[in-house]
Amino acid sequence: MADETTDISGVKQLSLGVRYLDAVAGQVRDDFLQFVPIYDVTGKALSTVILDSLSKFGVRIDKMRRQGYDSAASMSGHISGVQTHVRQRCPLAVYVHCSLHSLNLAVSNACDVAAVRNCMGTIGAVHTFLNTTKRNTLLKQ
């Protein structure tokens, strides 16, 4: 899973994560790997960054079965998008539109409604409170 974003200082970067089966725990895991600075946002350049980064982490790209990105042409394009270049090297890595990206867009749009925005803020505050309370309880033990 990969997505291009720009950080607060204006540097373009690629967030890279993997989904895999943890055979020891017997469960599917999603792990963030890293942010990679990028200077070329063409499909070929991004696919090279993704595959090189995965290789550096020891991921066997010949075992890739899925790739997930948003629907931006540079990522999902069937002619020169990242998914096309990745499939040239990993033919079994089928492209699937990232459902979390769709969820993020839906939540972002919903936050234009004041009641939803306030609800999300309240949920965030409750989450922070509960985590702080839990952490303090654990520290006292």
pLDDT digits (tens, 9 = 90+) for 95-127: 887 766 666 777 778 778 888 888 888 988 898
Q: How many Cα neighbours within 13 Å face the side chain of 103?
A: 3
Nearest residue to 11 (alpha-carbon basis) of 35, 30, 32, 44: 35
* pLDDT over 70 at 9, yes or no: yes
Sole residue written with tokens 């010949």: 62
pLDDT of amino acid 136? 66
Tell me the backbone φ, ψ of residue 8, rounded to 5 degrees: -65, -25
Whole-prediction pTM: 0.67
CA distance 14 to 84: 18
Tens-place pLDDT, residues 29-72? 989 999 999 999 898 999 999 999 999 999 999 999 988 887 77
CA distance 18 to 58: 12
